[in-house]
Amino acid sequence: MNTSTTTIDANIKKMDEQAKAGNMGVMKHLWLTAKADMIESLRSRWFMVYSGIFGSIIILLFVFGLTESRVMGFTGLSRLLIAYIQLTMAILPIFVLITTVRSVAGDREAGVFEYMLSLPVSLSAWYWGKMSGRFAVIFLPVITAMLIAVGVGILKGSDMPWAMVSYYSGLLLALSWCFLGIGMMISSLARSSDVATGAAFVSWLVLIMFLDLILLGVMVQEGMPMETAVSLSLANPLQVFRTAAMILFDSQLVLLGPTAYVILDNFSVNGYLAFALIYPVVIGTVAASIGYWKFKNSDLP
Amino acid sequence: MIQFNQVSKQFKNVQVLKNIQLDMNAGDRIALVGSNGAGKTTLIRCLLGQYNHQGSVRVHDLVPRENRELVLRHVGFVPQLPPPLKMPVEQLIDFSAKVSHADFDRIVHVAERLGLNTAELLKRPFVKLSGGQKQKLLISIALGRDTDILIMDEPAANLDPEARHIFFQLLSEKPKDTIMLISSHRLDEVAALVNRVIEMDCGEVILDDHVEDLVDMTSQLFCRIGVLKEEPAFVKAISEWGFTETVDAKIWEGVVAGPDRLRFLGMISRYAGLLSSITMNDGVK
């Protein structure tokens, strides 16, 4: 055996020992994967469209003088934030679902997984790193657009609704994590990007369908107990966000009608606000964990 | 070092690998040949721990699927199709080097030896590189690490003759006990690189043979080719090998990497009716 062989053997043995001792750092690999995914996403067309949409929403809200209008006593920045969160709730879930499943399942089809997973990176670091990087990339434009709006509002002399800004930031975070988790799960379960896209769209459609108060009204009319109908709607993360966004400016939930009694009796306002932050994060984490289990136990490329 | 024990793999109703029984030992340089759908890529993916399968695969007595990091630390891999990564070349090298505990500069050095102008390319997205540049970079990442197993799927397909020669040199610099598994559709592409040939067909190993290993991977052949007349197709083909004309485009001279001799003669044979003389000298002009 020559000298170079001995050196290489020694290096490999050293690496093996470090790996066995756990010194290689799953966290380091997770961070490297997250960083790589962020760099990859920042150069993607979907990210430019995505950022452009949220930037445009804010610009349009200012251009159309929304801060000057008044709804249910709300004006200025509060009014703008209410409009922004409602629009975000309409756009973000479907955008996150479709872009996540297309890019993750697309990467698998295009051979990115085959190559990147031939490197000695652990599957947990790869999967959760990818999810973390993706989370940063989808959350940042949404929160940045909102913070820019707040900054501009302050410069224009509006009062700063700190409580609302903080809560809406948390709500956006929970919303992003929830749908990213669902997107990651669909990407792992579906073997092709076409199937994944279809499944993502159907999932979104089902959630939208159960947002429909008419549908819930029909259920109640057909004899379903009110509590069951409300529970069903509260299991829907989209409805949870919608109600939470509403409750900040309509604490009696007048807009919801009689269902408000069930919600307020069971939760109280503060309890519901907490539920609306925690529940979607749990849903996103559970969905992503199912995705990870499937990813880890099936063929990788 | 590598053992396939009754390995089978099925996709839905299609049996892609059928009871593969193979041992690969230190120093084996293996040509894995077979037509499309023969099972070469599936075999490689089982070895890389990327597929679930029946039977067992062991690398250094470890199961790749269960010991990914430990096994893949030993493996350098060059895929047939480069991944469409949008990240800059610098980021790709950095990621690969850090997860493999390799040296960034060493990978860059290998890339430069293969003819890549890394100063110019580091900031460019990987996906924007030419086919040859991508191939060279992936080879650099595989060879710029301390590994004792090299798995390469059509590694030299997109390389120019000069880069092929340097690639063969780089392979020859690997320790003698390195296992090399080189997959190709055609044996003549890789014949001179290997000392063992495994042929697959319909998911089965139909040939497993050791071959003579006399060709020095670093050797070069000085070649002089005489032709009867100037023929545009021949001129194009011989120019791609870096040959230059000397007398009225009837005598062509150039250098062919030793392991490339069979591939070169395969090309020349297409113009047999045009040839007036062939001289090939090992290492001397």
Cβ neighbours, 10 Å, residue B25: 11
**Residue A30 to residues A285, B95, B206: CA-CA distances in angstroms?**
17, 11, 42
Best probe of the A interface among B47, B73, B80, B141, by most A CBs < 10 A, is B73
- Quick check: B126 pLDDT over 90? yes
Chain A residues with beta carbon closer than 8 angstroms to that of B51: 299-300
- pLDDT for position A15: 57
The average pLDDT across B150-156 equals: 88
- All CATH 3.40.50.300 domain ranges in chain B, comma separated: 2-210
- pLDDT for position A70: 57
What's the mean pLDDT when you consider all of chain B? Answer: 89
Tokens representing residue A30 in the block:
């997770």
pLDDT, greater one: A261 or A9: A261
The average pLDDT across B172-178 equals: 88
Q: Are B275 and B265 in contact (CB under 8 A)?
A: no
- Name the pLDDT band for A20 (thresholds 50, 70, 90): low
Closest CB to A12 among B74, B82, B95:
B74
Question: Using the beta-carbon criterion (under 8 Å), do A12 and B50 form an inter-chain contact?
Answer: no
- Quick check: A1 pLDDT over 50? no
B175 touches chain A (CB under 8 A): yes
- Condensed to tens digits (0 to 9), the pLDDT of residues B55-80 reads 999 999 999 999 999 999 999 999 98
Q: Find how far residue A48's CA is from the centre of its chain.
A: 17
B96 touches chain A (CB under 8 A): yes
A64 touches chain B (CB under 8 A): no
- Name the pLDDT band for B189 (thresholds 50, 70, 90): confident
List the 16-35 stretch of A: residues with Cβ below 8 A of B: 16, 18-20, 24, 28-29, 32-33, 35
Closest CB to A115 among B51, B79, B173:
B79
B75 touches chain A (CB under 8 A): yes
- pLDDT for position A229: 73
The average pLDDT across A178-191 equals: 93
Burial of A121 (0-12, 13-18, 19+ CB in 10 A): buried
Chain A residue closest in CA terms to B91:
A36
What's the mean pLDDT when you consider all of chain A? Answer: 81
A1 touches chain B (CB under 8 A): yes
List the 125-144 stretch of B: residues with Cβ below 8 A of A: 125, 138
- pLDDT for position A255: 67
- Quick check: A281 pLDDT over 90? yes
- Condensed to tens digits (0 to 9), the pLDDT of residues A81-137 reads 778 888 888 888 998 999 898 878 888 888 899 999 999 999 999 999 999 999 999
The CATH code for residues B2-210 is 3.40.50.300
- Name the pLDDT band for A74 (thresholds 50, 70, 90): low
Domain ranges of chain A: 23-297
Chain A residues with beta carbon closer than 8 angstroms to that of B100: 119-120
The CATH code for residues B220-282 is 3.30.70
Instruction: Please give the ipTM for the structure prediction.
Output: 0.82
- All CATH 3.30.70 domain ranges in chain B, comma separated: 220-282
